[in-house]
Structure 1
Amino acid sequence: MKTGKKLKIVSVMTILSILLVLAGCGAKQDSTNKESSNNQKVAVKHELGTTKVPENPKRIVVLELSFVDALHGLGIKPVGIADDNKKDMIEQLVNGKMKYTSVGTRQQPNLEVVSSLKPDLIIADVQRHKAIYKDLQQIAPTIELNSRESTYEENIDAFKTIAKATGENKKAEERLNKHEETIAELKKEVKEENGQTILPAVVRDTSFQAHTSASYDGGFLENLGFKDAVQSKEAYAEMNLEQLSDINPDILILANNEGKLLTDEWKSNPLWKNLKAVKNHKVFVVDRNLWTRFRGVVSSEAIGKDTVKLLHDQQK
């Protein structure tokens, strides 16, 4: 072989070697950049402090129903939900089927199942899950927000926090603008009833639990233009028929338990018959899940629409 040809072959091989090295460096650099991006954190303030969560988390576990509502409003599907082992309840909440893993009850979520899902974000309720916050943090970054005892305003704040934690601030802003427009339209629909006293309550076999102005549904109804018949800093108030008679609301909204109800015993009592809401046919039985369990931007709009329908149907 001639020397010239040898030199050409060596030169080609050298160039190829350099290109391969550069390509390898580029690939390594891309990998490093990608890894760096995936490792970026967002500091999220919540009820128990500040937690650094991954940017744009993909595997989210939620331990309260209002957080399902919030993610649904943002177009995000959680991988795990504390659904009280009632998949039909979640289907009702999101208005359709959704694939996820149940992590047990809201009161006592199964931490082994939560861990098995390898979440990169856990959203928990500060009232229910404060005691297991450290356990949850050992599984994945966790934020604890107001849900079970939240007011309507606190629920909106929680929605904004969840949006920040999931990297969906812009989508949240758009959704809240739409929410305000919806509420404004609903207010017009119930304009004739504005200022009337209203009392949402949960009725069980041995109790009548009034939801006050500090409750989620009570606060939301006030936002629509009604006045909660029980003004209080406490969200709930147990009362008997005599106390209900003294308050005498214009409208009664009853979210009944299944089975025997305390109000069944009251219906033959003159105090019940003389209630303004009873005499004016403004006692309405509503869905317990929607009115007292779900809570959230999407669910509150459904409550508002339900209120309009109930009142308008009653007038026909």
Structure 2
Amino acid sequence: MSTDTDTHTITRTKLLAEGHMMNSTRRRLLAASLALPLVGCGRSAGAMLKTPLGVSSPNLPVNARRIVSLEFMFTESLLGLGLPPVGTADPDVYRSWVGIDADKLRDTVSVGTRQQPDLAAIAALRPDLIVGYAQRHARIAERLASIAPTVIYDLEPPPGEDDAYTRLLRVFDDLARIVGAGQAASVMHARLDAALAATRARVQDLGLAGQPTALMSPLASEAGFWGFDRRSSVGALLDHVGLSNAWSTTSARRMGVRLGFDALYEHPDWMLLLLDAPNQPLYTERLWRDLPSVQAGRVGYLPRSTWTFGGLVAMTTFAQRVEAALAALKPQTAGKQIAG
């Protein structure tokens, strides 16, 4: 998963613009911190080790408590495990975009942005563990490791190995192991398993097992949709509740596909799940109303606020919202033309 969903395109663009507009003093401080071979703690980093889930320092702590998180998924996971990080990237953006357990961030210090972590701010916190995301932080892994033991997770499964949802679970379990939170992790897994079971039962009750399903979000800046394939955790989760994601892997560098109405007309057997409100003007237009999937009543809606790049708490909420969307389908959908 190399990028967040297009649902947040406008906000993300604004944040990037603000980053480019930082004043010259701030840029000099950032450059100085990047130039330091060892920052703050004076620890010997050693060579980073390649692991099945990314890269890490050779000696990771046991029961880490002073943790810095550089990506929302890890921030969410730590909060769910009852271990608020001492520092996190983009905490205000987390509060507005993600919101999960955000009240627990009240004592957490900002360490810059996810794209440009503030190494000096991280060092000042004297962490015993730094957690980063390979698609953003692999390039500075050794600098981070010079501050404190570091683990950089790659959330994209290698071709032919697992799917993004299974990979997410493996990463979460590894993080829970490092921070010594196995019991809390088990509770979170149980809640997710219950949500998946309820959604799977709904799929079976509606006769939708194996139904090709397109999970989509309307594009903010152009006509068409963003479709989540199996390289995204939410896209892969569809298969784990008995549906079938409409796409296989489409690109080694993306977590989905852009598609227009032509693609939707070409696949009359699809069920459509939209991250959007059903009262939007788009869904009153004839082009939409004439879609075979719409005519057949195979369209469900999930709240726009559904977070699609999260950990176990976000996946639990997503599964629950898929179940609710299926429950709201028109009665004639049940058992209707699954094979197309």
CA–CA separation in structure 1 for the residues paired with 2:238 and 2:78: 23
Greater per-residue helix proportion: 1
Q: In the alignment, does 2:211 pair up with 1:196?
A: yes
Residue 165 (structure 1) aligned to one of 174, 178, 188? 178
Q: Does the CA-based 8 Å contact 1:199-1:229 persist in structure 2? A: yes
One-letter amino acid of the counterpart of residue 112, structure 2: G
Please say if residues 199 and 249 of structure 1, whose CA atoms lie closer than 8 Å, have aligned partners that are also in contact: no
Output the amino acid matched with 1:184. A
Q: CA deviation at 1:97?
A: 4.7
Once residues 249 and 105 of structure 1 are traced to their aligned partners in structure 2, the CA distance between those partners, rounded to angstroms, is 42
Is contact 1:52–1:141 with CA below 8 Å preserved after alignment?
yes
Judged with a 3 Å threshold, the aligned counterparts in structure 2 of structure 1 residues 108 and 269 are, in CA distance, closer, same or farther, namely farther
Equivalent in 119, 126, 130 of residue 127 of structure 2:
119
Higher relative contact order (CA 8 A, sep 6+): 2
Q: Based on CA coordinates, which of the two structures has the bigger radius of gyration?
A: 1
Q: Structure 1 147/104 Cα, relative in aligned 2: closer, same or farther at 3 Å?
A: farther
**C-alpha RMSD of the superposition:** 3.0
Contact 1:91/1:98 (8 A) holds in 2: no
Deviation of 1:282 (Å) = 4.2
SS at match of 2:328: helix
> Is the 1:255–1:292 contact (alpha carbons within 8 Å) kept by the matching residues of 2?
no
Please give the secondary structure, in 1, of the residue aligned with 2:230. Answer: coil
Identify which of 288, 313, 322 aligns with 1:307. Answer: 322
Residue correspondence of structure 1 range 217-256 to structure 2 within 5 A: 217-232=234-249, 234=251, 235-248=255-268, 250-255=270-275
- Structure 1 unpaired stretches of 5+: 1-42
Match of 1:64 among 71, 79, 94: 71
Amino acid at match of 2:127: P
Aligned-partner Cα distance in 2 for 1:77–1:71: 6
Cα deviation for residue 103 of structure 1 reads 2.3
- For residues 109 and 287 of structure 1, the distance between their equivalents in structure 2, rounded to whole angstroms, comes to 31
Deviations 1:126-183 (A, max 9, x none): 1111111112112211101134788111100001110121022344345424432432
Identify the range of structure 1 (167-176 vs 187-196) with the bigger mean alpha-carbon deviation: 167-176
Equivalent-residue separation in structure 2 for 1:296 and 1:104 (angstroms): 21
Instruction: Report Cα offsets for 1:67-100 as digits up to 9, x if no partner.
Output: 1232233221111222363253377212645322
Structure 1, 298-307 or 183-192: larger mean CA deviation: 183-192
| Identical-residue share of aligned pairs (%) | 26
Spell out, residue by residue over 1:33-82, the C-alpha distance to the aligned partner (whole angstroms, 9 max, x if none).
Answer: xxxxxxxxxx9944025531222111111111111232233221111222
From the superposition, tell whether residues 283 and 96 of structure 1 become closer, same or farther in structure 2 (CA, over 3 Å): farther
- Equivalent residue pairs, number: 267
CA distance in 2, matches of 1:281, 1:255: 17
Partner secondary structure for residue 58 of structure 2: strand
1:87-126 correspondence to structure 2 within 5 Å: 87-89=94-96, 92-94=99-101, 96-99=103-106, 100-126=108-134
Q: Distance in 2 between matches of 1:94 and 1:68?
A: 10
Are residues 148 and 44 of structure 1, via their aligned partners in 2, closer, same or farther at CA, if it must alter by over 3 Å?
A: closer
Q: Which residue of 2 aligns with 1:179?
A: 192
| Residues in 1 aligned to 2:261 and 2:56: alpha-carbon distance in whole angstroms | 43
Confirm or deny: 8 A CA contact 2:156 2:231 kept in the other structure: no
- The answer to whether 1:211 aligns with 2:228 is yes
Q: TM-score, normalised by structure 1?
A: 0.73
TM-superposed CA distance for 1:200, in Å, is 1.3
Equivalent position amino acid for 2:213 in 1: I
SS in 1 for 2:126: coil
Residue type of the alignment partner of 2:308: T
Contact 1:62 1:123 in 2 (8 A): yes
Amino acid at match of 1:104: G
